Amino acid sequence: MADFEIIDLTDSPPSSPPPRSRSIRRRSRRILSFRASASSRTILFKIIRRPNENPSSNSEYLTRHVVPWIPPTLTGQISQAVNEFHSTMHGGEIWTQHEHEEFVKGLGNCGELQRISQDVNTRLRQAETMADMSRTREIHGWIQSVNALEQVIQDIIQAATTLSKSNCLPRYTIGKKVAKAQDCVRELMSRGQKFDNGTNLVYELPREPADEMPVAKTVGMDLMLKKVWDSIEEEDVNMIGLYGMGGSGKTTLMKKLNNEFAKRRHDFALVIWVVVSKDRNTDRIMEDIRQKCRIGDMNWNNRSKDEKATEIYRVMKQKRFILLLDDIWEELDLLSVGVPQPNEANQSKILFTTRLENVCDQMQAKKLKVECLTEKEAFDLFCIKVGEETLNSHPDIRVLARELAQECKGLPLALITVGRAMAGRRNPQAWKHAITELKSFPSKVSGMEKEVFSTLKFSYDSLPTDIDKICFLYCALFPEDRTIYVPRLIRFWIGEGFLKEHDSIHDAYNHGEDIVERLKLACLLEGEEFLWIKMHDVIRDMALWLARDEDQDKNKVLVQGEALGSSHTITNNLEISEMTQRISIMYAKGDHWDVPTCPNLLSLIVWGNDCNVDFSNVHFLSNLKVLSLRMERMSTLPAEIGQLIHLEYLELSEMHIKERLPIEMKNLKSLRVLLLEYVHFSLEIIPLEVISNLKRLRVFSFIESRFKEWKSSLQKMKSMLFSAVHLTHHTLEKSFLEQLELLPLLEDLSITLETSMGIKKLLSSTKLQRCVRLMGLYQYQKAAINATFLPSVTRMQHLERITLVGLQDNMRESSINHPFPKLRWVTILDCHNITHLTWLKHAPLLDYLIVENCKLIEQVIKEDDVDDDILLNLRYISLRNLPLLRSLNKKALPFPMLQYINVMECPNFKKLPLDSNSARSRLRAIWGEKQWWDNLEWEDQAIKVQFCSKFKD
């Protein structure tokens, strides 16, 4: 006999422990318990396994088959228990092994849910690789539910597999849980469909629009930072270009600006930083932008460049952004990388840094130049890098540090590099040695070659042609801290053969001016005047480093300035060798100079040295092409100069050469440029044989030079290949100009005339007018110039500079049909009949205007109705001693390039032609008397306040 009980387990979990456990008994309800034999149990199970029938039939079956084996007193109870059990199980039955296996197979068929779960998890992992992205709560809950369901299913399968071995597993032990699991599968599959397409997986974590960047302590940037921020806040400014020479702090300034966006309140939803650099890798640019825009991998990977650009555009056009582009070398097509064009509608902004000013123009950006530091700012930055401990270690070091910092000329990159190199150097002798090295061979200073010159070299490498590069390196031959006269520089280039591709002198000059402009735009040269440029000292050091093959051949190019000439013999300070190719000695001190022994020397420039010269070794300069001598003490030119048969450029200016040039100069048959400028009266004769043999001569300049036998020499010059003649001679007659007309290839003429006949001849000669580039008219006689003067001048299409002194005519403007296309400099002195200069409106390139001592002039531009597009290029205007002058023009003009205004002794000049929009970006100074400034009349006091800081008395 064995205990037997019927228990209701319909609400128990499928993985419950055996029914006799305490936990199950608490949740189950005992239906019937009794002791029965094995045969009785078998009959009972058969009853339970019978198909759902009438309860009465169950009782009948029970009575017929079971009663004989159980006590009669239990028959009714068993019948009631069986009926109740059948009712509870809804007609359930006991499974066979085969039925269990089929059910388990059906329950485990959840492949579709598993596929969805795997795909969703893959996409989720990809999405979470993006910075600042986190999974949503919804997807987190769904994944947890799927994982829990998988565990439940595994438990059901495991339990069912174990219990089925008895071939009589009751469905009520697992059936209801299986059905519930199947419902869960269907519900999770339905929810998973919206995740399967990649949406609603992650969301962006809140973050600031700008990521703060590490920036070292800076000096002198606050004012520039404010100027940039103010420009960003201007509604009509959408593009801003920060330009300046390499190492001037443009990138540092941009980083500080980026950090301002991390600190200040602003309305930009996106602040994007991208380094463009010289290689301009658009794939990397787009990758940096997409990271900031948080574009996921699914919308990026395996996409074409156009598709990526479209995706960037889709995101950025919906937000107000500011894009910070660092180190641009050429115009960047914004749409090609998906960046929407900023405009007043979207109020987005683009800010970029570049070394090339013309990139700002190409990008149509507002230009802001990043200048080098002032001397005080430079020393402060230098001290930060050296450290106070080093500076205070010896009384002399701070003084030496100031001198060393001055050699860096305010360039932050050089100051930082040299300052770091000197940190910890507590011996004053080490500082003195560093100063000497920085002046002589700066590449020896620690870090200069690797960190400074290599960085600046990118600007050199960006130059478009080899001619541009060699012309740039040539500028390093001029002394530091001195300006370079552009026409003289171009003549050097012509003499060196750099511009020999041009047959026309005008084409060569134009090419030279283009090169100068490109070098200025690349911030390799400085200077806002068209006649004068300057090279920053550190740029010059870099140029010499390059010219010396990156200091592999330090004697290849030798330069000595005034600071280094201390010995009696100038060349003692130069390490001249047989490999030396160019020597430049300018303003060095000494009383004696020996021509060096250099068989490979190509160029020799000696200027401003108050010394005697020994030419005894000149025959060793067999390959010399350029010889430039500007030496006042030099009174004789030795005959040996005729041995320089390869010479193409010869300058003998500012000399006191007595009597005549040596006849041996006739051997210089390769000569292309001969300059005899400011040669004093002592030179009387240029031998005819010399002039007649210089058949390759192209440029011939006699500015402010006088000699006796010139006129007779002209007859010998008719067949020569002159293309340029520069003359200044106050006694030139009409016949002299007639001889000039006979020169068949004359192209370039610079001339000053004083006599009435000479002036009239020039103004009547079509050929000479076509040649004039510089012209000075000094005329103190009456009735020399008539109404045809200005129309005649307009025919001088190459005229760049005109000086008018003492003209008695009123220069009527009648019949001007052509502009002055190249006129840049106008000087008018002592012209007492002139009442206005309205004709200047026909000079679109005018840079300089100087008007002095003209008694009757009342206005510069007389017309009431003039366009705003006049004098757009004017940079400097000087008005002095004009007693009747009332105004420059009746209405305000924009003057976009104006830098300096100088007004002296003009008591009736009451109103400047300026308004709030005039000269906004470039004006540096207004000079004048304090009383004149205080009495000026203004349309609006705010305009006076705007310009008040520019006034200097």
pLDDT digits (tens, 9 = 90+) for 325-362: 999 999 999 999 999 999 888 899 999 999 999 999 99
**Whether residue 401 has pLDDT greater than 50:** yes
* Rounded average pLDDT over 721-749: 66
Say if CB 679 and CB 657 are below 8 A apart: yes
364 burial via Cβ count (<10 Å: 0-12, 13-18, 19+): exposed
Nearest Cα neighbor of 851 from 836, 864, 873, 839 is 836
User: Which range among 162-171, 250-259, 499-508, 759-768 shows the weakest confidence by mean pLDDT?
Assistant: 162-171
User: Which range among 23-27, 108-112, 476-480, 666-670 shows the weakest confidence by mean pLDDT?
Assistant: 23-27
Q: Which CATH class is domain 222-369?
A: alpha beta
Distance separating alpha carbons of residues 886 and 880, to the nearest angstrom: 13
Q: Which ranges in 108-221 belong to alpha helices (H)? A: 111-128, 137-163, 175-196
pLDDT tens-digit readout, 116-148: 888 888 877 777 666 566 777 888 888 888 888
Tokens of 647: 């010479």
Q: What is the pLDDT of residue 318?
A: 87
Tokens of 847: 């840079």
**Whether residue 149 has pLDDT greater than 90:** no
Total Cβ atoms within 10 A of residue 769: 20
**Whether residue 906 has pLDDT greater than 80:** yes
Q: What is the pLDDT of residue 257?
A: 94
Q: What is the pLDDT of residue 829?
A: 92
Say if CB 516 and CB 352 are below 8 A apart: no
* Rounded average pLDDT over 496-515: 89
pLDDT tens-digit readout, 737-766: 787 787 777 787 877 777 778 788 888 888
Q: Which residues contact 391 (CB under 8 A, 6 or more apart)?
A: 383, 397, 398, 401
More confident site: 1 or 827: 827
Q: Which CATH class is domain 450-554?
A: mainly alpha
**Whether residue 435 has pLDDT greater than 70:** yes
Distance separating alpha carbons of residues 664 and 657, to the nearest angstrom: 15
> Which of 27-36, 290-299, 826-835 is most confident?
826-835
Q: Average model confidence (pLDDT) for the chain?
A: 79
pLDDT tens-digit readout, 451-472: 999 999 999 999 999 999 999 9
- In this prediction, residue 152 has a pLDDT band, given cuts at 50, 70 and 90, of confident
Distance separating alpha carbons of residues 329 and 271, to the nearest angstrom: 22
Q: What is the pLDDT of residue 146?
A: 84
Is 842 strand, coil or helix?
A: helix
- In this prediction, residue 630 has a pLDDT band, given cuts at 50, 70 and 90, of confident
**Whether residue 219 has pLDDT greater than 50:** yes
249 burial via Cβ count (<10 Å: 0-12, 13-18, 19+): buried
**Whether residue 13 has pLDDT greater than 80:** no
**Chain-centre distance of CA 280, in angstroms?**
12
Burial letters for 121-151: b for 16+ Cβ neighbours within 10 Å, e otherwise? eebbebbeebeebebeeebeebbeebeebbe
- In this prediction, residue 394 has a pLDDT band, given cuts at 50, 70 and 90, of very high
Share of the chain above pLDDT 90, in %: 34
Q: What is the pLDDT of residue 11?
A: 36
CA-based end-to-end distance of the chain: 130
Q: What is the pLDDT of residue 36?
A: 46
Phi first, then psi, for residue 643 (nearest 5°) are: -80, -10
| Fold (topology level) of 375-440 | Helicase, Ruva Protein; domain 3 (1.10.8)
Q: One-letter amino acid identity for 97?
A: Q
Total Cβ atoms within 10 A of residue 434: 23
Q: What is the pLDDT of residue 527?
A: 85
Q: One-letter amino acid identity for 275?
A: V
Helix (H) / strand (E) containing 183: helix 175-196
Q: What is the pLDDT of residue 711?
A: 47
Q: What is the pLDDT of residue 226?
A: 94
Distance separating alpha carbons of residues 412 and 401, to the nearest angstrom: 15
Q: What is the pLDDT of residue 650?
A: 92
Q: What is the pLDDT of residue 196?
A: 66
Domain segments of the chain as ranges: 2-92, 100-204, 222-369, 375-440, 450-554, 779-928
Model confidence pTM above 0.75: no
- In this prediction, residue 717 has a pLDDT band, given cuts at 50, 70 and 90, of low
pLDDT tens-digit readout, 566-619: 444 455 567 788 889 999 988 766 666 777 788 899 999 988 766 667 777 777
> Which of 50-54, 593-597, 819-823 is most confident?
819-823
pLDDT tens-digit readout, 381-390: 999 999 999 9
> Which of 75-79, 168-172, 729-733, 904-908 is most confident?
904-908
Nearest Cα neighbor of 404 from 446, 455, 456, 371 is 446
Distance separating alpha carbons of residues 759 and 886, to the nearest angstrom: 32
pLDDT tens-digit readout, 540-561: 999 999 999 887 888 889 888 7
Nearest Cα neighbor of 373 from 409, 420, 416 is 409
pLDDT tens-digit readout, 227-269: 999 999 998 899 999 999 999 999 999 999 999 998 888 889 8
Half-sphere exposure of 950 (CA within 13 A, CB side): 19
More confident site: 409 or 636: 409
User: Which range among 2-16, 376-390, 584-598, 789-803 shows the weakest confidence by mean pLDDT?
Assistant: 2-16
Distance separating alpha carbons of residues 67 and 78, to the nearest angstrom: 10
Q: What is the pLDDT of residue 122?
A: 80
